[in-house]
Structure 1
Amino acid sequence: MKRLAGLRRAQGIERVIDHLQDCLREQQALPDVTSLATVAHQSPYHFQRLYRALTGESPGQTLDRLRLLNALQALQQPDASVTDAALAAGYESAQALARRCRQRLDTTPRALRADATLRQQWQQVLAQPPVDVDAATAAPLKVEVRALQPFEVVLLRAQGAFGDLDASFGRLYEWAQAQGLADDLLHLVGIAIDDHRDVPAQAHRFDCGMGFATALPQLSSPLRRQALGIGPHAVVHHVGPYEQLQAVGDALLRDWWPDSGHALAEAPLYFHFLDDPEQVPALQLRADVCLPLAG
């Protein structure tokens, strides 16, 4: 855990957490990703993934955790009512604070105010990011740094549950068939815009992509093109359920990259799918997690 705390400081994550605390004090909304990446001195391409890898939560979840912590700190004041504590922490009402206490802490603000021991226990829990210690101390990844051949993909933005992405890839394949490209399919890739572990299923966004052996035709919305595979990459070959790929990306940024001596490129991490989930059992699915490196 000391290493993770040091990495959070070195990568500017502690600055972001301090900034989020300032936003709470000033009762400001969650800043956008670009603004937070600037605070951390990180690329917007990698900030969200790096932030989660080093904290175990998204910036929005940090804001929620700190708001609840502030409410508990306010509840320890002898003359503070539940309403006072709620408003001081940025909740709309005492009822909103009560709902969040039930959801997150399985208790009530009144119980927390009355029981100093219970309140202090939860304050200790909420004071630190919930990094998965087991994940942070897992066996070293097998990472290969190699130059990839650039390729161009057609991307379709999907929104919905991670487990429902097959339907979006299906729509993309139907487009390829209509264009006479289906037989030239070479690459099946994905770029996570959101982390499916952190957002509701209906809000999850993911770019589904296909690359072909022939030149792409003119594209129209909602399709767009993007170049991938440019320059050196850190590649981890994963075998297992595709739902685990986000965690592999976390480990790549958290456990391998900081000591690798490589700088990150201004390009997104992507998943190169090597099997069809409809034809291959989940435990046998293969994919490469590809992290673009500078130079």
Structure 2
Amino acid sequence: MNDALTTAYRERFAMVCDYIARHLDEPLTLDKLSALAHCSPYHFHRQFAAFSGLPLYRYIQWLRLRHASWRLAFNPQDKVIDIALDAGFQNPESFSRAFKTAFGKSPRQFRVAPDWLDWHQRVPMMASQEQQSMDVQIVDFPPTRVAMLQHRGSPALVNASAAKFIEWRKQSGLSPVKQSKTFGIAWDDPQSTAPEAFRFDICGSVSDAVPDNAFGVINGEIAGGRYAVARHLGSLDNLSQSVWAMFREWLPASGESLRDAPVFFHYLNFVNDVPEHALQTDIYLPLK
């Protein structure tokens, strides 16, 4: 198979994965998905598994269970029965069985005490459609006072730190999520940094100083200045690919130089509130 045919083949199945992500709350029939891939329904299962690494049914179920786990952990107001039905299960019992098989805990046990290290070990990397192009803008970002929780340690435990920050937000009322902006400061690349050395700051904009608290949230500031900004669309699993695309493709062609400051992210929405394909995250590269 020549390169052009290989690329076309991968693009077709990436499009199928993107379609699945956008229609998880609908019936996903073999006839519809195989037609999208321009292949025979008879051979589709094998071809999809070869591309994604998972059988079609398991791929769909994992996407639904991933989103259900985020809702369980971060949306305590959502009833288990509603999460089950939204994940495509006919009743809470079948959802509970599938969830426990996938994560080793019942939905209620996971809600009380999510084990994110174990979660990352169990959840497979999901294939998805790559972002084809990014519109990069240069902006002047103002110095921004933030409440900051410094995560230190494995990237797999960032969700645990996020839960702590969310609880601080709820109890303090100083950084209400609907009025405050949410940022992540990436000091290290998780792909090239030892887990124990990984640093990531979770931040919410505030107007007043943060008092001492039991959560470890401190006062901080995101440095103002010139930044190159591009919007990443979709799963945060692929966020690093968009960052590297800015370094690899946009930066050399732009004639710009980087300032000695970390990359940071502005999260416009959250995975426990919207489907993964609807996530929007702005990437900020500091410029001189």
Structure 1 length-normalised TM: 0.46
Structure 2 length-normalised TM: 0.48
- Which protein has the larger Cα radius of gyration, Structure 1 or Structure 2? 1
